[in-house]
Each structure stands twice: as C-alpha cells, then as structure tokens.
Chains A and B, each alone.
Chain A
Amino acid sequence: MTGRPAGRPLVPAYLSTGGVARPSRPQLERLSVLTRGDAPVPAGLPAAALALLDVLAGGALALVEAAALLRLPVSAVRVLAADLADRDLVLARAPIPPADRFEPDLLKRVADGLRALKH
C-alpha cells in the first residue's frame, strides 16, 4: 500500500477481480517476472487488467512490484496476471534467483592479491 496511512482505500481489492482470489494457474509466485505479451488488447477487459497492462508497458516487473504500483494485494494481482497470461497478453517467467552474496573471504583475498600486485 503506497497511499498515505490515514487514507482508507475507497475501492476494495475484491472489486479488481470480481471477488475471485484463486488464480487460473498456480505457478505464479510473488517474484515471478511479468512482461507485456505481444497479443493485441481485446475490448472488454476489466479495468484492473488494463491497469496491470499499463504498468507493464513501461518494462518488466515482478508480480509483487506490480501489486505495489497498482495498490492491490498480491493475491488479486496474481489472479489478474494469470488471466492475462492465459490470453497471451502477459508473459510470466519464474522468479529471478537472488544473486549470490559475495563471500567476504573471497573479496579479502582478491584485495590482498591486488595489493600484492602493486608492490
């Protein structure tokens, strides 16, 4: 929720999906990466689906990021994304694995090596 904490959202989240919270495909995760597909946008899409497509028009986003931008819960965006993926309007990829953290030991050894190179 990016709104001001005092503001109570006027439009509840269930309206975005028509009350559905079970996505049509189970494999979407919080960090799945969504990109805009090539299929043309058909008429009569629900407003929230159009909003999701708009958000993705600027580039790829993780599902949870799209949810934050749309100010919707992840569960609702997952339903929207699954519907759009079924229509090829959105491509979903598995989450990007988190980058390995550099081991401090290794960094230290590299730094030592560079320093040794200098002298």
Chain B
Amino acid sequence: MTALPDLAAGGLALGTLSAFALGGGLLRLRRRDARRRAEIAALRTQLDGSVRAFTSEVEHLAARRVPAAARQVTHPHLDVPGPLQPLTAGTPLGRALDDVLVAVQGEVAAQRTRVDAAAQAGMRGATREIQAALYRLQDALRQLQQRYDDPELAQTLFALDHENEQSLRRAQVAAVVCGAWVGLAREESHLVDAVTGGQARLAGYHRVAVHNHLEPGTALVSHAVEPVAIIVAELLDNALRHSAPDTDVVVSLEHVHHGVCVTIDDAGLGMTEDERRRAQRLVAGDDPILLTDLGDPPRMGLAAIGRLTRQFDLRVDVSSASPYGGVRAVLRVDSHLLSHLDPDEKPPAASAPRTTRRPAPARPPAPASAQATAAAPATAPAPAPAPAHGYGAERTESEAAGHQAPAAEDGLPRRRRRTAAAAPRPAPAADRPARRPEEAAAALGALQAGTAAARSAAPHTGGQHDDGTTDGGRTDGGTTDGNGRGAGPTRPAAPAAPAGHEHRTDRSAPHEPTDHEGGAAR
C-alpha cells in the first residue's frame, strides 16, 4: 500500500524534474534563439548599411567621379573627387572603383583622338578645296594686274589680291593644323623673299619693318620655302595682333653659327608665364595636336607652327621677352635647309628689302658708268660680269648682233639698252660738228668711188660686186648712222669681221645712238 503513494510521489517528482529539465532547456533554446535573432538583425542592419554605402558610392561614382575623370582627360588641371567614404580608399572596393575611372579615362581619350582625327580629316578636305580655289583666284587676279594698268582698276586689283592672300593664309594654316601638306611646291627662293612673302599675307603688313643682314643670295631649299613663309606670317600675325597699331614690328634676318635666324620683335603686351609656356609647348610641336585643344574660335597659328617645325626640322622659340617689351620670336633655319642663289642670275623680288651687307664687288653707282665707257676691257677685272644689280639685261661683253644681244638665261632676244644718259654730257656734242664735214666728204667720196668702181666693173663682170657692198656697209658704220634701221638689210651680206668691227665702233661712241633717239623724242 505504501508503494502506491510513493510511486505516485516518485512519478510526480520525476515529472516535475523532467518538466524543470525541459523548461530549462526550452528557456535556453529560447534565449539562444533570441541571441541569434539579434545577431541576424545586427547583420541585416550592417548589410543594409553597407549596401546603402555601396550604392551611394556607386551613385557618387556615376554622378561625380566619372564625369570628372572624363573631363580631366581634356583639362588635366581638374581634380577628380575621392570616394564618398574616405575609408573605402585602399580597400578592394576602393581599388575596383579607381579601376573604373582609369578605364573610362582611357576610353574617353581614345575616342577623343578618333573623333578629332575625323574632324581633322573633314576640315583638311574642305580647306584643301578652298585653298586650291583661292590659288586659282590669285592667278586670275595677277593676270589681270599684268594686263590692265588703269589706276582705278589696279587699285581694286591690289586690294582684292591682298584680301585673297589673307584668306589663303587662313585656309592654308587650317589645312596645316589638320595635318595637310602646305599645298604649294615652290622652287628654291631667296630667304628674304619668303619672309617678305609671309609679311604680305597680313592685314597690317605696313607695320612690319624687315632688316636684312644676310649675305646676298642666301636662299632656302625648295621644300622649306613655303613653311618658312607660313611660320613668319603666323609669328608676325601674333606680333601685330598683340601690339598697339602705332608701333612697328621689327624683323631682322641674321646669320648665326648653325644657319640663319629670323627674329621678330614686337612692342606689345608680352605674355604671362603660363601663356609663354603654352606657346612654347605648341610651337615645339612635340605633342599631337587636337582641334579641341585649340579653343573656340580655334587659335591655329601656333599649332600650325608646331606642325611645321616638327615636319621640316625648323626651330621656333617664343620663350624670351623682347627688349621692346613684347615678345621676341626667333625662327632658326639650320644650314641643311639653306642654299645659295646667284643674286645676279635670279634676283630677289623687287619689294624684298635689300641686304645691308656690301658684297666684295662694288654695287650700284660705279659700274653704271664703267659699263658705258669701257665695256670691252671691263670683262677682265670682274670675272662674273657684275652688273649694277641683278636685273639681267646688260651683258655688255657678248652682244654680238645689233639690237639683239643673245640673252643668256631664257634664250629670248633682249633689246640692247641705250647706254647711260646722254644729255648731261656736252663733250661729244662739241667735237661732233668738227668731224662732220670730213666724214660727210668721206662718205660721199666713198659713194662716188663705189659707184664709179661699180660702173667700171660692170662691163667686165656683168653684175654687181660683193666688194662694193661691203665697202658701202663699212662707210655706213663709220658714219655711225647705223641704228639698225636703215642699215639692216645690207648687214647680213657683210662678212663677219667687218661686222664685229662695226659694232666695236658703235660701242666706243655710245653717245650717238642715244643722241639719235633723243632727237626723235623731241
């Protein structure tokens, strides 16, 4: 009997015990569960936070950093902002984001070059057409200038030609910047011609003073002529544009050790340090040129110079200040681009400033009279028969036949020049009347003798005699009436030796033909 309650009590106790145990376990479970849940919640908020941070970092990348990085390609001085959370820098995320920027920049730069190249190609094609058309216009204008000399028309033609030169310069510079050829093949030319030609392409060419200190005949090889003209024009254009309109721009041409320097000084504002650095970088031509770098409207002058200096091995320096206060630009042409032209054979243009150097053979005034009086012996002291200047025509030593001295250079006959002014020389006029009666007598005597001889010879030979005509020709020459007009027909019949004699007498008395023509003028 006792066992039942015990049993029951024991069972109860067991039950309670197990209930406790179960309850404890349950409690523990619940507590762990709560802890886990808290952990999960914490993790979830952390995750939410980092996702939000990541999102905002990417948003920041898209909104700020990528555009800035792309802009930095064109404007290297711009800063690219860092990540939103400074802590991400250096983390894998930070590095990945930076890689995005690098890739964007690389691709943008490549696209930019591609687009620019396409733009340059388009512009090159357009300017080439324009340039060719302007050259045709120039030809037409110059033909008109040659053909018509009415002052009013000529004035208009000059103005049009100048306008055309300016347009041509712009088209050419644009073409050169876009990588085109200069567009014109020139022959070897005097350096001063190239400089003067460049000067003529500008609106303010009146303000340019060129001082030529070069050896006469200093020339450029053919492929350097047009580049030098373009570079000088652009440097002068800068100088003119950045200096007051009442100041001069001074150009001087000088020999230096390695070649020739063209120095261009202006009295303008000068450049700031930044501008100077930029200009120097452009004219050096080391960086590739992009149209988008040149501003709007594009400033092409310096870029064109850069292209040409690199292409033709010229040197331009704009880094120094001018003693006049502005900029000093120096173009150096090295010796391998220089050549020499004989200034007598191929003189520089008439408008090109003459050199300040005096060459060894005497220049203008002396040879003029020397030629007139002592033409034949004058060949000995001057081996290259230095004429007063380069304009060709008077090669006195070799004029074989009357009015048609054989022209050496172009094979065309040249009219022989009436030798120097006759009017101020009274001496020949004085001894002329003294000689005239006896000459007249001699001439008449010769004529009589000739006709008499012919008459007496006529019955024997039955025709005219050659000696008679020769004799007549010589007396004709002796009276110095032979200006080729009347005596022309008889001359070819005369043998060679008398003809030479006749010309020498003609030359030794240079006053006669001029006097004759002067008489005709009055």
| Contact surface of A with B, Cβ cutoff 8 Å | 1-2, 4, 6-23, 26, 30, 33, 35-36, 38, 46-48, 50-55, 57-61, 65, 69-76, 78, 93-94, 96-97, 99, 117-119
| Contact across chains for B351 and A48 when beta carbons are under 8 A apart | yes
- With beta carbons under 8 angstroms apart, the residue of A4, A15, A54, A70 that contacts B205 is A15
User: Given A8-B186, A11-B197, A58-B420, is A21 in contact with B158 using a C-beta cutoff of 8 Å?
Assistant: yes
Known: A47-B352, A118-B454. A69 touches B205 (CB 8 A): no
CB-based contact B388/A58 at 8 Å: yes
Q: Are B145 and A73 in contact, with the CB atoms below 8 A?
A: yes
Complex A-B: 12 CB contacts under 8 Å: A9-B349, A10-B194, A15-B351, A17-B158, A20-B158, A22-B152, A53-B364, A55-B389, A57-B365, A97-B520, A99-B485, A118-B464
| In the complex, residue of chain B having the shortest beta-carbon distance to the beta carbon of A53 | B364
Partner of A96, one of B206, B410, B455, B517: B517
Q: Chain B contact residues: over half helix, strand or loop, or mixed?
A: helix
Cα distance, A59 to B186, chains bound together (Å): 33
CB pair A8–B149 under 8 Å, yes or no, is: no
Interface centre among B145, B149, B196, B372 (most CB of A within 10 A): B149
Closest A residue by C-beta to B188: A7
Interface residues of B in 188-218 (CB under 8 A from A): 189, 193-194, 196-197, 199-200, 205-206
Tell whether B479 is near chain A: CB-to-CB under 8 Å.
no
Given contacts A12-B165, A47-B353, contact A57 B368 (CB under 8 A): yes
Give the contacting residue for A11; candidates B200, B368, B394; CB below 8 A: B200
Which residues from A are CB-within-8-Å of B351? 11, 13, 15-16, 46-48, 51, 72
Whether A48 lies near B368 (C-beta < 8 A) is: no
With A14-B161, A21-B157, A59-B417 known as contacts, the answer to whether A47 contacts B394 (CB < 8 A) is no
Q: Which residue of B lies closest to A10 (CB)?
A: B197
- Picked from A20, A26, A58, the residue with its CB within 8 Å of the CB of B368 is A58
State whether B196 touches A15 (Cβ < 8 A).
yes
| Pair B392/A13 contact, Cβ less than 8 Å | no
Asked if A22 meets B155 with Cβ closer than 8 Å, knowing A8-B184, A58-B420, A73-B145, the reply is yes
